[in-house]
Amino acid sequence: MNSKTLVIVEHDNQVLSSDTLKAISAASVLNQPVNVLVIGCNCQPVVDSVTKIEAVSAVLVADSEIYEQQLAENSALLVQNVSEGYTHLFAASTTFGKNLMPRVAALLDVGQLSDVIKIESEDIVIRPIYAGNALAKVKSLDSVKVITVRSSAFENAPVNNASNAEIQVVDINIGNDSSQLIERQKTQSVRPDLPAARVVISGGRGVGSKENFALIEQLADKLGGAIGASRAAVDAGFVSNDLQVGQTGKIVAPDLYIAVGISGAIQHLAGMKDSKVIVAINSDSDAPIFEIADYGLVGDLFEILPELTASL
Amino acid sequence: MKVLVAIKRVIDPYSKVRVKTDGTGVETANVKMTINPFCEIAVEEAIRLKESGLAEEVIVVSMGESSCQEQLRSALALGADRAIHIETDTECQPLSVAKLLKAIVEKEQPRLVLLGKQSIDSDNNQVAQMLAAITGLPQATFASEIHIEGNKIEVEREIDGGLERLRLSLPAVISVDLRLNEPRYASLPNIMKAKSKPMEQLTPEQLGVELSSSQVTLEVMPPKARQAGQIVTSVAELVDKLRNEAKVIE
CB count within 10 Å of CB A288 equals: 17
Q: How far is CA A241 from CA A63, A183, A199, A237, B190, in A?
A: 32, 17, 19, 8, 33
Q: Please indicate if any CB of chain B lies within 8 Å of the CB of A41.
A: no
**Closest CA–CA distance from residue B232 to any residue of chain A (Å):** 5
Rg, C-alpha atoms of chain A: 21
Cβ pair B88, B61 in contact under 8 A = no
Torsion, Cα B5 B10 B12 B18, to 10 degrees, reads -160
Q: Please indicate if any CB of chain A lies within 8 Å of the CB of B222.
A: yes
Q: How far apart are CA A244 and CA A94, in angstroms?
A: 14
pLDDT score for A161: 81
Q: How far apart are CA B43 and CA A8, in angstroms?
A: 33
Considering CB atoms only, which of A105, A114, A132 is closest to B223?
Answer: A132
Q: Beta-strand (E) ranges in chain A?
A: 5-8, 34-40, 56-63, 88-92, 112-116, 118-119, 124-129, 134-140, 145-149, 166-169, 179-186, 199-203, 226-229, 256-260, 277-282, 295-298
Considering CB atoms only, which of A100, A134, A240 is closest to B17?
Answer: A134
Average pLDDT score over chain B: 96
pLDDT score for A188: 79
Give the model's confidence band at A190: pLDDT under 50 very low, under 70 low, under 90 confident, else very high.
confident
Torsion, Cα B137 B149 A66 B157, to 10 degrees, reads -80
- This prediction's pTM: 0.96
The 10s digit of each residue's pLDDT in B192-247 is: 999 999 999 999 999 999 998 899 999 999 999 888 899 999 999 999 999 999 99
Say whether the ipTM exceeds 0.90. yes
B113-142 b/e (C-beta count within 10 Å ≥ 16 → b): bbbbbbbbbbbbbbbbbbbbbbbebbbbbb
What percentage of residues in chain A have a pLDDT greater than 70? 100
Cross-strand bridge partners of residue B115:
B175
Q: How far apart are CA B250 and CA B248, in angstroms?
A: 7
Smallest CA–CA distance from B231 into chain A, residue: A296
Any idea which of A180-189, A303-312, B37-46, B117-126 has the lowest mean pLDDT? A180-189
Q: How far apart are CA A258 and CA A281, in angstroms?
A: 8
The DSSP-derived string for A107-166 is HTT--EEEEESEE-SSSEEEEEETTTTEEEEEEE-SSSEEEEE-GGGSPPPPB-SS--PE
Spatial neighbors of B53 by CB under 8 A, at least 6 apart, are: none
Nearest to B207 by CA among B113, B111, B98: B98
CB contact under 8 A, B158 and A179: no
HSE at residue A123, side-chain half, CA atoms within 13 A, is 14
pLDDT score for B144: 97
Which chain B residues contact residue A15 at CB under 8 A?
Answer: none
CA A251 from centroid of its chain's CA atoms: 7
Considering CB atoms only, which of B129, B220, B238 is closest to A99?
Answer: B129
Give me the residues of A, 196-225, that contact B with CB < 8 A. Answer: 199, 223
Give me the residues of B, 151-210, that contact A with CB < 8 A. Answer: 154, 157-169, 172, 177-179
CB contact under 8 A, B248 and A255: yes
Spatial neighbors of B207 by CB under 8 A, at least 6 apart, are: B86, B100, B103, B104, B107
CB count within 10 Å of CB A240 equals: 16
Q: How far apart are CA B74 and CA B183, in angstroms?
A: 12
Q: Dihedrals φ, ψ of A4, to 5°?
A: -150, 140
pLDDT score for A1: 53
Q: How far apart are CA A290 and CA B48, in angstroms?
A: 40
pLDDT score for A105: 98
Cross-strand bridge partners of residue A6:
A35, A89
The DSSP-derived string for B146-160 is EEEETTEEEEEEEET
Q: What is the mean pLDDT of residues A83-108?
A: 98
Asked whether the predicted pLDDT for residue B78 surpasses 90, the reply is: yes
CB contact under 8 A, A248 and B177: yes
Smallest CA–CA distance from B26 into chain A, residue: A134
CB contact under 8 A, A131 and B124: no
What percentage of residues in chain A have a pLDDT greater than 90? 94
Q: How far apart are CA A179 and CA A167, in angstroms?
A: 30
Asked whether the predicted pLDDT for residue B155 surpasses 60, the reply is: yes
Q: What is the mean pLDDT of residues B185-193?
A: 95
Please determine, looking at this structure, whether the domain spanning B2-217 carries the CATH number 3.20.20.105.
Answer: no
CB contact under 8 A, A115 and B11: no
CB contact under 8 A, B215 and A178: no
Q: Where are the domains of chain B?
A: 2-217
Cross-strand bridge partners of residue A61:
A38, A169
Give the model's confidence band at A187: pLDDT under 50 very low, under 70 low, under 90 confident, else very high.
confident
CB contact under 8 A, B162 and A135: no
More confident residue, A104 or B225: A104
Burial tier of B205 (Cβ tally within 10 Å: 0-12, 13-18, 19+): exposed
The 10s digit of each residue's pLDDT in A234-286 is: 999 999 999 999 998 999 999 999 999 999 999 999 999 999 999 999 999 99
The answer, yes or no, to whether the previous bond of A288 is cis (omega within 30 of 0) is no
Q: A interface mutation test: which of B129, B158, B234, B239 has the most A CBs within 10 A?
A: B129
